Structure 1
């Protein structure tokens, strides 16, 4: 199905889809992923995302859902993100195949140290990189992986699913084995290993995060979504199945996808006007074109 809508309708839809007030759990159910960034000029991105959608939200409120209630966990998605813990079996191919290529290089080069880190955590429980004596610096100052060898290895083990974030202190990860963190019903869930099915699933997740997904979305949005040819096939399959609807927006008929289940929002009344501050990595702003 293809629909023609105005730019004004598209703006109204995005306002309703993203900013109809809800709670932390409701935000995760709606978006399915919230990008995490440790930089904190006026608030970390995750807090800004929730603050724009959750009335009365306070800094770090999401951590209870993540580290006490275990409804959310830290995972590699578009980048480092918070995702529903029920996604664990669905993300098996990300941990195996679609994680950053640097992780394979790091773990191959430092296999003995990586094994020692896992053995130490097995024996002692959740640890950060600070609990290890090895302080050798190897990374560039701007490296997301960290500047020490141990931190880089732990981040690589995290991306591969051999470690997960147990909790944080002042933003610092304390890592633990996944079987001791992920609720058993999800940890032992049947992993999604069929590539075509996985691609349809992850592209649907991207659609959830953005609300409107442009056909020409920048490359970073397709991270973990396979090749261009593969996601083109997956999008066609999702259209055929009725999961996605193609929109032509404005006089130029710019093509966007939306979840068919959200079509009713095109004609829904707007919420009361209010001022919101959006983080630069809010998923509504992922596509900057």
Structure 2
């Protein structure tokens, strides 16, 4: 393993802003091709259906694309089929061209489900597949409701569980979503046969999955939270998953081949790794800082980061590099929350300066701000550019949400006076 290159914390933060297309935020053109550009850079968007502030992948793209419209991603997923959904860390949107590198997810799920759910409900899979073959895309509501059976989070309608098992196994795929309702069709009708028939070795698939995590975040290390590395493992002779040694071996190969560059970052524990294609961005970060330029050479902008934005994947890195302690409290009982239900990190330039809790009230076309907190040492009035940047971010967020008005919640009269009541940026108007 080569000696890690030393990076200052300032260079690392600037590099990450550039890598994540956030220097400045919302700078990519307002067009569908910009979604492809973000995918090319990050490699995947994590999907989460909660929409209180906008779905996770839509927030990721809104932070980077001017006038982003969720319909663009839906078209790429369900009409043009250049994206598909499967597990990579969690459920993610991925390039369809990379489908052969993610078959391991389908194959492992099929192995599990064929021993359990699909066998225990043997007649139902055949009936579902026959109807899909004859009728085309269907949802669980198109089938007679079955009995409840044990499933991931508790007892679930038998039809829904079998549909999900077939989907996770790659037998069927998502034809479209209507809200949070999924419509399925036969995989063979959704994706090109040459991709479905292509086979890549399990080792190559694991290498690809591992590298995809480093590409997405831009500065992951050897460890971190287990969910970052989900699926990059093999099963030993005793049936148990072997994860860390497999990752270490594959990572050593990727470093030896020059696909990953080891670095030591000031204030961050352990070795970190840059994807090789990031060399130019690292050089740009060093030049900008040496010249005293803001990120990307433009006035610093503000962005509301999605809870599962790739920049936020490694909570240890957020804490050590940005001094930002972030917990997504959506699954934390209300009485135990420190901040709020759906709180977003607030980025200014290459610093995390606070957190904000917006909520989209679609019935009244209103965005309510339920909370706004500044990090220690951040005075919004004394921080150059902050007030204008946050005001612009709020105006763009209103447009993203399809809202006409901004409401400041209880106890927020002071930021309400500071930032006013920005109107939606009409050039970015759409509906979340």
The reply on whether 1:280 has 2:288 as its aligned counterpart is no
Distance change (3 Å), C-alpha of 1:102 and 1:213: farther
Q: Aligned partners of 2:37 and 2:253: how far apart in 1?
A: 28
C-alpha displacement at 1:146, in angstroms? Answer: 8.4
Question: In the alignment, which residue of structure 2 is the partner of 1:211?
Answer: 218
Aligned pair 1:78/2:78, yes or no? no
Q: Is the 8 A contact 1:137 1:148 kept in 2?
A: yes
Q: Does 1:5 align with 2:28?
A: no
* Mean Cα deviation higher: 27-36 or 13-22: 13-22
Of 18, 21, 27 in structure 2, the residue corresponding to residue 19 of structure 1 is: 21
Match of 2:167 among 148, 158, 167: 158
Task: Report runs of 4+ in structure 1 exceeding 6 Å deviation.
Answer: none
**Measured at CA, do residues 251 and 81 of structure 1 come closer, stay the same or move farther in structure 2, by a change above 3 Å?**
closer
Name the count of aligned residue pairs.
Answer: 285
- Higher RCO structure (Cα 8 Å, ≥6 apart): 1
SS state of the match for residue 303, structure 2?
A: coil
- Partner in structure 2 of residue 222 of structure 1: 229
CA contact (8 A) 2:88 2:209 kept: no
Note if contact 1:103-1:159 (Cα within 8 Å) is conserved in structure 2. Answer: no
1:239 aligned to 2:255? Answer: yes
Whether 1:174 aligns to 2:183 is yes
Select which of 38, 43, 55 maps to 1:32: 43
C-alpha distance in 1 between matches for 2:96 and 2:215: 16
Unaligned runs of 5+ in 2: 29-33, 234-242, 289-294, 317-432
The structure with the larger Rg is: 2
Q: Deviations over 1:113-163 (max 9, x none)?
A: 1222112111111111110012433457x93x9832111111111111001
The Cα shift of 1:277 comes to 1.0
Q: Structure 1 residues 54, 170: closer, same or farther in 2, change over 3 A?
A: same
- The two structures, once aligned, show a CA RMSD in angstroms of 2.2
Counting only pairs closer than 5 Å after superposition, residues 170-209 of structure 1 correspond to structure 2 as 170-188=179-197, 190-192=198-200, 194-209=201-216
Distance 1:40 1:103 in 2: 33
Aligned counterparts of 1:67 and 1:252: Cα–Cα separation in 2:
41
In the superposition, relative to structure 1, how do residues 112 and 185 fare at CA in structure 2: closer, same or farther (>3 Å)? same
Query: Would the aligned equivalents of 2:222 and 2:248 in 1 still touch at CA under 8 Å?
Result: no
- Classify the secondary structure of the residue corresponding to 1:191: coil
Structure 2 Cα separation of the partners of residues 244 and 12 of structure 1: 19
Could you give the per-residue CA deviations for residues 181-209 of structure 1, whole angstroms, max 9, x where no partner exists?
11334233x211x2322221111111111
TM-score computed with the length of structure 1 as normaliser: 0.91
TM-score, length basis structure 2: 0.62
Alpha-carbon spacing, 1:253–1:218, altered in 2? closer, same or farther (3 Å) = closer
Name the structure 1 match of 2:76. 65
5+ long unaligned stretches in structure 1? none
2-side partners of 1:8 and 1:107: how far apart? 53
Bigger drift between 108-117 and 7-16 goes to 108-117
